[in-house]
Structure 1
């Protein structure tokens, strides 16, 4: 009998609500490493700017702010050691099965008294042709609260893909949602949110006096296909069933 990483209660919540939170998922050392990695990326400028110039924002008369560090799993061995570890992949396997590939990864930074709101959306809408089983792992590196730009989720909204439009962002029209059902994900550094890619969610504006850093890592159950239009995915498995390795 295979031991499960997720408890029965956590799996029940995930199946019911489309997400579950695992407290203290990352160690203090992991959190410290990721904060330092963000600092090094911001100081170097080259990592994000060379790959994605939209990662940098500059407010009037202020220095540029690194809002997003793309592909840390691909670019940094330490990050890859954390999120490609046996322990993390055991949780991922509980949710998408034993065939696991890297889909995408990034750091998201919301500076104090800034960091715009990300409107309600479903992750799958951004790469709808990658519809095999996948999971988003969102980890708080700083405290994530409603005031500090934390996640907002609609439990049970993972049953169907909703229409998305280019409005404030690529999003669901919020007037078509029952926003009274929105629940905040209040998380401490190191806490993890496992999120179904069909779950409707948003992230709040950072209205606090403190920065908020988070990691987002998405895992996929199939190798990248030559026919897909999305640029995400990998052909190298992080974990594969034994029969695939023989």
Structure 2
């Protein structure tokens, strides 16, 4: 059980607000996830709005300082997930083993996402800040990166297909961060065919905390950088090759 969190507002009038999430997920005593549950006849959006409201500074905002996952669900609509400050419309739906005809979608996907290894893996490898906004992976991003990791570990190449607006830049950032951390000898070159896109990729990586990305300025500069041990992460135009 989670302890009740009480917030006392300052000022001439003192008002006490009590809020208690339905379920809190603790790891080594640290609250990392909350779950808001509703009856099957109540929309899952009510649970999402309740969690968003709880993050308000007049309620239990400090409690969310360590929270990584915010789940909302019921037995009929299943499970949605987000993180702190995720707007309601951006809460995501997990999909896995769609041929499994389990009727209770809430239990099914809670067991998938709250598996010990996966829960901690997503926190460590798949949560990023994009321009100051905390983001979790969409399901296709998670499994695409997991499959790419298998190929990389076998020293094999591959292709990840994306549609427009499916978050390919986020996939590049998450995968690049994983490569750089798990292979100290690795270097990454990101090639595009448009100068505008090259600038965009540089900005995306910097906003995600990868300040060390280097953007080449010419063919000569690219050749020079490739001959060096650093930088480990660079972006360039394919025309420069």
TM-score tier (shorter): under 0.3
TM-score, normalization: structure 1? 0.24
More helix by share: 2
TM-score, normalization: structure 2? 0.24
More strand by share: 1
- Structure of greater Rg: 2
